[in-house]
A and B are shown apart, each in its own frame.
Chain A
Amino acid sequence: MNDFDFDLFIGALYLVAVIFFYFGLKRLGSPKTARSGNLIASLGMLIAVVATLVDREIISFELIVAGIIIGGLIGVIMARAIKMTAMPQMVAVFDGLGGAASALVAAGVLHGNIADGTDMSVDVSVTIMIGTLIGAVTFSGSLIAFGKLQEIIATRPVTFPLQKTVSLLLFVGILAMIGYLVADPDMTVFIGLSVACLLLGILLVIPIGGADMPVVISLLNSYSGLAAASAGFVLGNVMLIIAGALVGAAGLILTQIMTKAMNRSLVNVVFGAFGAVETVSGSAAPGGEARPVREVAYEDSAVILAYARSAIFVPGYGLAVAQAQHQLKELGALIEAKGVAVKYAIHPVAGRMPGHMNVLLAEADVPYDKLYDLDQINDEFSSTDVVVVVGANDVVNPGARDDAGSPIYGMPILNVDRAGQVIVLKRSLSPGFAGIDNELFYKENTSMLFGDARESLVKVISAIEDL
């Protein structure tokens, strides 16, 4: 009969969409094929949406059309307007939207079932509650992450007494409400559950510091996939389950790469409130008095750079803050023309999300084959004449390598201190986001260039041009 044909048709299209997602993700794994991969994945999405619109459960199209037009317009505007430096915020917002959409789907299904008086089996109601929990936590957690990245909320870990106890009690309360709702579905209690889940998301992210954002963003990315998958369980829709699982896995892998690059465990990032506790009990830093650093003039930096044989640029979050990627590229091109071999060293957790620096430098037209990963370049510092550190701090802190008392001890760092000369562009001597003093700044071969990274670079560039 016709009925059966429709389902078969939808299923076949879903299968095609799944294959598109697979190849899309696979092609996203190599710079040459990545753009086509993204296109293939988006076609997969289009196919899945068209297939779903054929579903006989869909009776009225007014809200759907209106929703797609409104959402599509907002999406286009956001995607076009966003600055590359603000990409972490953007990803955080999108993670949150995905989570919210999944939670709303669960809520909509529950509401429909209650309104129709449908008897829900235990597994249906349990999946609805889990979908709500994951979706709502993803949503509010992402909003907090966005607030921290946008610096609306303190980027330092925000902690209060008994925080973990409160979170734990809240979680127990959520489980109790889920238990109640499974036994006796009720919209009022469900709203209470949703609010509690939103609160939990806030509590989970707010104690996490700015430097840990790459981990949080990856984790929320994973959650947004799991939220979609759980919505798939609610609806019994295999397409959602598979796509959500793929994204969940991708986010988990990135999370793992990030925690490894910080030499920390996920549990430690999520529950550690890094940096809040450690006002550092001295460790290597001698007590109190200001230690001398060597400041360097723009003209001197220009001479050092112009007459070097090799230079490595090490960008960090400060590059994004100062939006100095174009000036850094300009400086690189300028000294390259003078015969200096220029490379860029990118620490996996430099910036606020995985690959943050790579995107910024790509925007400034730096070819990606000049960007080197930690493992690829770390042995080269000792044979490099000059290193320019632009707004990076913890990822170049030798304390992580040498000082067992340092709170970041064990974190793999870029060995910039082994280069002939190190020029550090920095706003001030303030410690990095982990709140830890940096031995690098006091070394003999280190010169500090204080000020806004972009302005400093402009001055160095013009000084080189004047040589």
Chain B
Amino acid sequence: MFDSVLLIELFIFVLAVFVGFEVITKVPPTLHTPLMSGANAISGIAILGALLVAGQKDFTAGAIIGFMAVILATVNVVGGFMVTDRMLQMFKKSPVDKN
């Protein structure tokens, strides 16, 4: 029933979750929002699937579904990374004291 490819994919998934935990655990609270919106932009990775669905044959209903997915995922990716950058460029440290 479950072929080995799916098993390997599950292994990859679980390990990637662990990597995610390790990378993100120590992020300071100040960066929680940018981290969230940056991660959110990465979740727009669904755009890859959207491209594959939208690029099939001609204008079938399936391709239209893919087309909508491409639009939504692109908004997610482009908007997500841009707004994260907009936030991060505001984060500044205190100027070094002259006294």
Residues on A facing B (Cβ under 8 Å): 21-22, 24-26, 28-31, 34-35, 37-39, 41-42, 44-45, 48-49, 52-53, 55, 57-61, 63-64, 66-68, 70-72, 74-76, 78-80, 82, 84, 87, 90-91, 94-95, 97-98, 100-102, 104-105, 107-109, 111-112, 115, 121-123, 127, 217-218, 221, 224-225, 227-229, 231-254, 257, 346, 348, 353-356, 358-359, 362-363, 365, 367-371, 373
Closest to A102 in B: B46
A28-B35, A105-B69 known; A123 vs B6 contact (CB < 8 Å): yes
A-B complex: 5 closest residue pairs judged by Cβ atoms: A249-B20, A71-B74, A67-B70, A58-B55, A355-B32
With an 8 A cutoff between CB atoms, is B89 at the interface? yes
Complex Cα spacing A370 to B94, Å: 8
Q: List the B side residues contacting A38 at CB < 8 Å.
A: 34, 38, 41, 81, 84-85, 88
A25-B24, A57-B56, A59-B57 known; A35 vs B39 contact (CB < 8 Å): no
The main secondary structure of chain B at its interface with chain A is: helix
Closest to B85 in A: A38
Q: Are B41 and A41 in contact (CB under 8 A)?
A: yes
Q: Could you write out 28 A-B pairs with CB less than 8 Å apart?
A: A29-B23, A31-B30, A38-B41, A49-B47, A63-B66, A64-B54, A64-B70, A71-B75, A97-B44, A101-B47, A101-B73, A108-B54, A108-B62, A109-B53, A115-B62, A123-B6, A221-B43, A225-B39, A231-B46, A249-B17, A249-B24, A254-B35, A355-B32, A356-B33, A359-B34, A363-B90, A368-B30, A368-B93
Q: A28-B31, A111-B62 are in contact. List 8 more A-B contacts (CB 8 A).
A: A29-B31, A63-B64, A76-B82, A101-B72, A109-B49, A229-B13, A245-B20, A362-B92
Q: Are A80 and B25 in contact (CB under 8 A)?
A: no
Q: Are A26 and B82 in contact (CB under 8 A)?
A: no
Q: Are A60 and B34 in contact (CB under 8 A)?
A: no
Within the complex, the shortest CB–CB distance from B12 to chain A, in Å, comes to 6
Within the complex, the shortest CB–CB distance from A170 to chain B, in Å, comes to 24
Q: Are A75 and B78 in contact (CB under 8 A)?
A: yes
Complex Cα spacing A21 to B77, Å: 13
Q: Are B54 and A67 in contact (CB under 8 A)?
A: yes
Q: Are B50 and A104 in contact (CB under 8 A)?
A: yes
Within the complex, the shortest CB–CB distance from A39 to chain B, in Å, comes to 7
Complex Cα spacing A233 to B46, Å: 11
Q: List the B side residues contacting A101 at CB < 8 Å.
A: 44, 46-47, 49-50, 69-70, 72-73, 76
Complex Cα spacing A41 to B75, Å: 16
Q: List the B side residues contacting A248 at CB < 8 Å.
A: 17, 20
Q: Are B9 and A241 in contact (CB under 8 A)?
A: yes
Within the complex, the shortest CB–CB distance from A463 to chain B, in Å, comes to 27
Complex Cα spacing A59 to B81, Å: 28
Complex Cα spacing A75 to B85, Å: 13
A31-B31, A98-B46, A248-B17 known; A67 vs B37 contact (CB < 8 Å): no
Q: List the A side residues contacting B24 at CB < 8 Å.
A: 25, 29, 249-250, 253
Q: Are A74 and B71 in contact (CB under 8 A)?
A: yes
Within the complex, the shortest CB–CB distance from A6 to chain B, in Å, comes to 14
Q: Are A97 and B49 in contact (CB under 8 A)?
A: no
Q: Are B46 and A68 in contact (CB under 8 A)?
A: no
Q: Are A236 and B57 in contact (CB under 8 A)?
A: no
A75-B78, A97-B75, A247-B43 known; A373 vs B84 contact (CB < 8 Å): no
Q: Are B91 and A362 in contact (CB under 8 A)?
A: yes
Complex Cα spacing A301 to B42, Å: 46
Q: Which of A21, A61, A108 is packed against the most chain B CB atoms within 10 Å?
A: A108
Q: List the B side residues contacting A28 at CB < 8 Å.
A: 27, 31, 34-35, 38-39
Q: List the B side residues contacting A90 at CB < 8 Å.
A: 37, 79, 83
Complex Cα spacing A115 to B58, Å: 13
A241-B16, A242-B16, A254-B36 known; A74 vs B46 contact (CB < 8 Å): no
Complex Cα spacing A246 to B56, Å: 29
Q: Are B72 and A104 in contact (CB under 8 A)?
A: yes
- B 1-30 binary contact with A (CB < 8 Å = 1; else 0): 111011001001110111111011111111
